[in-house]
């Protein structure tokens, strides 16, 4: 019997607006550049632009190994890449935290969009008594900020457990991400299913953990190894209805959230 459903976040429940990337980049460079300048760190605009691109290359060394770092560490990488040197002796801890705040909260100031129908699908799934988990690999936007974004969309309270890779320091497709989530949800692998759009992280990770999976396939993506394939999140309730008798029992209080920290 189906007891739990886990969801990916980006491009599954929320959609990125590509046009906002430049706006967020300008916000980060402007705010962090001003703070850094107060402490004698004065890279050129070109250096900040280059660092904004290269910080993701540096992060990929972690991400490709299914590891992650905090937003503070990522912001420090950004500043050091722009400055061309370590900044430990130049930037006090309080200033670095302020930089990290601006770095991570750019997406809160210029937010993504909720996927059409996503909130309603979560509400229906929650109302059926299934336990809901969120499994998110973070990028520049940390879990702390994504919680606020989900709260603004009215989705946050619908999850029983949440996972953000910057907090746990481990990422999909590591199977431990999925097995720990299922432990928090009180479900066995045979009683759960994962929904996501990325074959290399969502589907591969769920498969490694022994879970069934639903591929939310985008128009520009190819077919993948999944138990079910949908083209819209709105198609999910039909699949869940086939897997559940509608009498799943919920343990704990609705609205209680377990945070997975590794």
CATH number, domain of 194, equals: 3.40.50.1000
pLDDT at 259: 52
Final residue of a structural domain among 53, 74, 109: 109
Does one domain contain both 68 and 38?
yes
Query: Which residue positions in the chain have pLDDT lower than 70?
Result: 245-262
Does one domain contain both 96 and 33?
yes
pLDDT at 230: 96
As to burial, measured by CB atoms within 10 angstroms (0-12 exposed, 13-18 middle, 19+ buried), residue 78 is buried
Cis omega (within 30 of 0) for bond into 173: yes
Does one domain contain both 248 and 148?
yes
pLDDT at 118: 98
Final residue of a structural domain among 78, 109, 140: 109
Does one domain contain both 12 and 25?
no
Does one domain contain both 80 and 184?
no
Does one domain contain both 219 and 128?
yes
pLDDT for 116-168, tens place per residue? Answer: 999 999 999 999 999 999 999 999 999 999 999 999 999 999 999 999 999 99
Give how many domains the chain has, as a whole number: 2
Does one domain contain both 147 and 177?
yes
- Domain span at residue 65 reads 20-109
Does one domain contain both 51 and 130?
no
CB 6 within 8 Å of CB 212: no
Does one domain contain both 148 and 245?
yes
pLDDT at 107: 97
pLDDT at 257: 54
As to burial, measured by CB atoms within 10 angstroms (0-12 exposed, 13-18 middle, 19+ buried), residue 179 is middle
Q: Report the distance separating Cα 151 and Cα 158, nearest Å.
A: 10
Final residue of a structural domain among 54, 89, 109: 109
First-to-last CA distance in the chain?
A: 28
């Amino acid at each position: 019997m189906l007891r739990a459903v886990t969801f990916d976040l980006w491009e599954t429940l929320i959609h990125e607006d590509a046009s906002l990337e430049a706006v967020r980049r300008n916000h980060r460079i402007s705010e962090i550049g001003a703070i850094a300048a107060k402490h004698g760190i004065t890279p050129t605009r070109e250096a900040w632009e280059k660092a904004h691109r290269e910080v993701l290359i540096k992060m990929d060394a972690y991400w490709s190994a299914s590891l992650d770092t905090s937003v503070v560490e990522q912001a420090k990488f950004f500043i050091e890449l722009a400055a061309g040197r370590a900044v430990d002796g130049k930037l006090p801890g309080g200033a670095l935290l302020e930089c990290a705040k601006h770095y991570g909260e750019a997406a809160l100031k210029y937010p993504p969009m909720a996927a059409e129908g996503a909130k309603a699908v979560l509400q229906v799934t929650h109302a059926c008594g299934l336990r809901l988990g969120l499994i998110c690999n973070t990028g520049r936007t940390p879990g702390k900020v994504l919680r606020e974004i989900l709260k603004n969309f009215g989705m946050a309270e619908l999850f029983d457990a949440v996972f953000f890779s910057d907090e746990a320091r481990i990422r999909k497709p590591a199977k431990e991400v999925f097995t720990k989530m299922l432990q928090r949800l009180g479900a066995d692998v045979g009683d759960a299913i994962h929904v996501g759009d990325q074959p290399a992280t969502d589907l591969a990770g769920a498969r490694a953990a022994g879970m069934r999976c639903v591929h939310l396939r985008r128009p520009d993506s190819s077919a993948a190894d999944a138990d079910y394939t949908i083209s819209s999140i709105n198609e999910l309730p039909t699949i869940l209805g086939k897997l559940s008798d509608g009498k799943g029992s919920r343990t704990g209080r609705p609205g209680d959230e377990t945070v997975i920290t590794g």
